[in-house]
Structure 1
Amino acid sequence: MKSKILGFVALTAALMSCQPKAETFPTKQEVLNKMVLTNQYFMDKWPDTGKSIITNKERPSNIWTRAVYYEGLMALYSIDPDQTFHDYALSWGENHNWGLRDGITTRNADNQCCGQTYIDLYNIEQDSVRIHDIKASIDSMMVTDKIDDWDWIDAIQMAMPVFAQLTKLTGDTAYSERAYDMYMDSKVTQGLWNAADSLWWRDADFLPPYTEPNGEDCYWSRGNGWVVAALVRVMDLLPNDPHRDEYETTLLQMLEALTHLQREDGFWNCSLHDPDHFGGKETTGTALFVYGMAWAVNNNLVDAATYKPIIQKAWNAMAKDAVHENGFLGYVQGTGKEPKDGQPVTYTSMPDFEDYGLGCYLLAGSEVYKMAE
């Protein structure tokens, strides 16, 4: 009898060892390790922060792709105040003379995105040169009545937080009021928000009757991620903004819709309503959704018991399946505006710009870190 019992125990132990290890929520150190690893890879690859970016043509490195990376770097710095991170961001601003692509007369949100980090660095050390050009650019918009500049949803993330930062910095609510007007123009007047699905069309090209191959509307993952990030950043900067209800309601509606669209492997597809149209793991949209969900949990806006497993599954998937041993970030869709752009998206594929994907990942990590034990 004793031998049978021992045999049963041994068999049970063997069977248990074959079971997949249950996923657990990462520790703070585990989250930070992945953030530091991926960031170090990028800093090592780009030691010269003023070096132009060359893809199909040469571009200055204060364009939106690099600006999104620095948003993420400043988020990393906020939880791990390593002087190296600060100095790397500072040298970027200095190497560009704290300027904007196309100068201070630009109204293009992509060109203004760098201002988010410029203002963050000004808040650390009040050197007026750091914010001169970005403030001048926004001020030049404020003296006009034009509010329809944000005719693609990426723009909401690129520029709306700048208006919020200037309100917080100066106390002048005219900036945040103008941002609200521009946001509502995109949402309602231009009609880029679909209340029926609680998601955004990327721009007018994707409004009905445009459909994906399966007949569904085209909701681009990263585009919706940009809006999630913008709403988070604006509410974080201005928690008592008079339009807080609008921003919070829209964010929560989006997050609820996204919970039903997560892939079994933890990622989200490029095309949120057509998983077969360039379906597969994609890091940037996934990271931005994690950023929004984790921020909502950390600010007690959603039920943690509902969202924590979703966040855990997504973060662990990115950490395990997207992050290479050397810190390179895989499954990053290249630039574009829809699911077919920047393909193929694979573990080893190199996007045309690899900076903004890391920025999205670092933003996500900064909020997951706060959730972790």
Structure 2
Amino acid sequence: MNKTILTLVAVVLLFNCSTAQKITKEQPIDKAVVKASMIKALEWQEAHPIFAIAPTDWTAGAYYTGVTRAHKATNDMMYMAALKNQAYWNNWQTYNRLHHADDVAISYSYLYIDMVDNRKNFVDLEPTKKFLDAHLYEDDVWKAGNRKNEMGQTILWWWCDALFMAPPVLNLYAKHTNQPKYLDEMHKFYMQTYNQLYDEEEQLFARDMRFVWTGSDKDSKEPNGKKVFWSRGNGWVIAGLALILDDMPTDYEHRPFYEKLYKEMASKILAIQPEDGLWRTSLLSPESYNHGEVSGSGFHTFALAWGINNGLLDKKHIPAVKKAWHAIAACQHDDGRVGWVQNIGAFPEPASANSWQNFGTGAFLMAGSEVLKLN
């Protein structure tokens, strides 16, 4: 199916994520309604488990990061019950690719449980430690630059999504265990990805080296001539930045770099927000798939609201965040399912009212968790 047909299908399927946005975008935030919608999303997702590879993979990691942030914001035991249940049945394990950032994302939830649960010997962080030590300190072909292909697998975190998966875990692990060496290692590998994938002109991240435009590759540009910047890919990065800054010591020597990067990306994301509130899957070519998408938009909304709540963004941006939240909320079905989530991928593609993934629910919960704190 070609791109034109896919676009037409997406437009035909557009439902309340177009009309409801226009109606609700000026409404105030009703925190009771936000909390209720978040619980409905949790309940539906828990009743409809899904994962890409295993219950400990990156999709579950992103989802339960959302559950973690929801509990942190509300202290509702429904979220903690979900967190503990999945951790227990996972036996506190990561997934098994020790040099792939995706496979430790689930540990963010384990670390959080250990930080708030007072029972000794309940949480087992040994699998997380084993993963992190292997990930950072064992030799691997990616770190040695011996596995080069079209995606640019010459560094450990060769795709921008990785900046959500591993760095927040490393940062939180360093904080929780009082071992700053893990934070220093995180920064070292983060800079590799930044130097390879960050576009200083556009202030956005290419997903991987296939989309780093060299001036000769026509495939790395959109039909409108703009570079390809994937909404969810950049959502992973800016949401990961908010998570990192939330736990990073205020006096950490490299913190100014992360704050500067956060502010640059936030400024760009705000500048290109569509009028209806939802970002398109292709950030600089919104006409390619001219409908909103919830996973990227949820991560953007979380990060922007977090910045306002923590003084990194001016409160004048609250209306933009409120508009985004109302648009996201309009994409939730009556049963709690969160629709309009682009399926698993690596570049801009369409979504539909009935496309959902657990990481989309995670983005929804993350966005709600910070919107609740807005004044």
Whether these two folds match at TM > 0.5 is yes
Aligned to 2:289: 278
Aligned to 2:272: 261
In structure 1, what is the Cα distance between the partners aligned to 2:78 and 2:364?
19
SS in 1 for 2:242: helix
Higher mean Cα deviation, 119-128 or 179-188?
119-128
In structure 1, what is the Cα distance between the partners aligned to 2:67 and 2:200?
33
**Runs of 5+ unmatched residues, structure 2:** 1-21, 145-154
In structure 2, what is the Cα distance between the partners aligned to 1:230 and 1:108?
16
Answer yes or no: is 1:333 the counterpart of 2:352.
no
| CA apart distance, 1:87 | 2.0
| CA apart distance, 1:300 | 1.1
Aligned length: 333
The structure with the largest alpha-carbon Rg is 1
Residue type of the partner of 2:319?
Answer: P
The answer on whether the counterparts of 1:121 and 1:130 sit within 8 Å (CA) in structure 2 is no
Aligned to 2:92: 98
2:125 pairs with one of 121, 127, 131: 131
Q: C-alpha deviations, 1:27-82, integer Å up to 9, x for none?
A: 22122121112111112334xxxxx74x7xxx321111011111111111112223
Residue type of the partner of 1:36?
Answer: I
In structure 1, what is the Cα distance between the partners aligned to 2:231 and 2:344?
12
Aligned to 2:352: 346
1:113 pairs with one of 105, 113, 117: 105
- 129 and 44 in structure 1: CA distance in 2 versus 1, 3 angstrom threshold: closer
Answer yes or no: is 1:186 the counterpart of 2:186.
no
In structure 2, what is the Cα distance between the partners aligned to 1:98 and 1:175?
20
SS in 2 for 1:130: coil
In structure 2, what is the Cα distance between the partners aligned to 1:84 and 1:33?
12
Aligned to 2:178: 171
Aligned to 2:299: 288
2:369 pairs with one of 350, 363, 366: 366
In structure 1, what is the Cα distance between the partners aligned to 2:314 and 2:238?
18
SS in 1 for 2:286: coil
The answer on whether the counterparts of 2:94 and 2:103 sit within 8 Å (CA) in structure 1 is yes
Residue type of the partner of 2:274?
Answer: R
Q: C-alpha deviations, 1:227-285, integer Å up to 9, x for none?
A: 10111111101142221111011111011111121111110010001112223110011
Aligned to 2:11: none
In structure 2, what is the Cα distance between the partners aligned to 1:142 and 1:205?
25
SS in 2 for 1:328: coil
- 20 and 326 in structure 1: CA distance in 2 versus 1, 3 angstrom threshold: closer
What percent identity do the matched residue pairs reach? 29
Aligned to 1:230: 240
The answer on whether the counterparts of 1:271 and 1:279 sit within 8 Å (CA) in structure 2 is no
- 366 and 21 in structure 1: CA distance in 2 versus 1, 3 angstrom threshold: closer
Q: Normalising by the residue count of structure 1, what TM-score does the alignment of the two structures yield?
A: 0.85
Answer yes or no: is 1:249 the counterpart of 2:260.
yes
| CA apart distance, 1:128 | 6.8
| CA apart distance, 1:111 | 0.7
1:198-237 residue pairs with structure 2 within 5 A? 198-208=203-213, 209=217, 210-237=220-247
Q: CA RMSD in A?
A: 1.9
| CA apart distance, 1:20 | 6.2
2:136 pairs with one of 133, 137, 142: 142
| CA apart distance, 1:335 | 0.5
The answer on whether the counterparts of 2:24 and 2:326 sit within 8 Å (CA) in structure 1 is no
**Runs of 5+ unmatched residues, structure 1:** 1-18, 47-51
